Amino acid sequence: EKYGIRMYHYSYVFADQVYQKIAYYKAAISKDNCIDNYFNEIYIPWILGNEMARNAIESKYKGVHEFKVSYRKEAYTKPFEGTHPKVILDSMNELKEKFNEQLKKYV
């Protein structure tokens, strides 16, 4: 933002994206640092859960990052307070459809 540029990092959005990232990290990058069965034990329950369930998951794991707590700082979620770029706003319906279609593969 210092130079008038803001880099948005939309991570952990699509189920396929998260599944593939976790598999890659577990296999090649940080094998012992990743929470075992992160995708099914944390990501999917958090996505499908209500606020109480999400808070319980975040409390148990000190957030929702795929690394074990001993290898990272707290990683709690919070609602997005900014404004999405126009390209995201213009594509929101398609992005939601893509999200829902991908999620169907895993639940």
Enter the DSSP assignment of 67: B
- d(CA 52, CA 90) in angstroms, rounded, equals 31
Burial class (CB in 10 A: 0-12, 13-18, 19+), 43: buried
At residue 37, the pLDDT reads: 93
Give the mean model confidence (pLDDT) for residues 68-91.
92
Higher model confidence: residue 14 or residue 30?
A: 14
At residue 1, the pLDDT reads: 62
* pLDDT single digits (tens) 15-70: 999 999 999 998 998 888 999 999 999 999 999 999 999 999 999 999 999 999 99
- d(CA 107, CA 103) in angstroms, rounded, equals 7
* Predicted TM-score of the model (pTM): 0.86
Structure tokens at 101: 């279609």
Q: How distant, in Å, are the alpha carbons of 31, 87, 103 from that of 13?
A: 22, 16, 10
The pLDDT of residue 12 is above 80: no
At residue 8, the pLDDT reads: 79
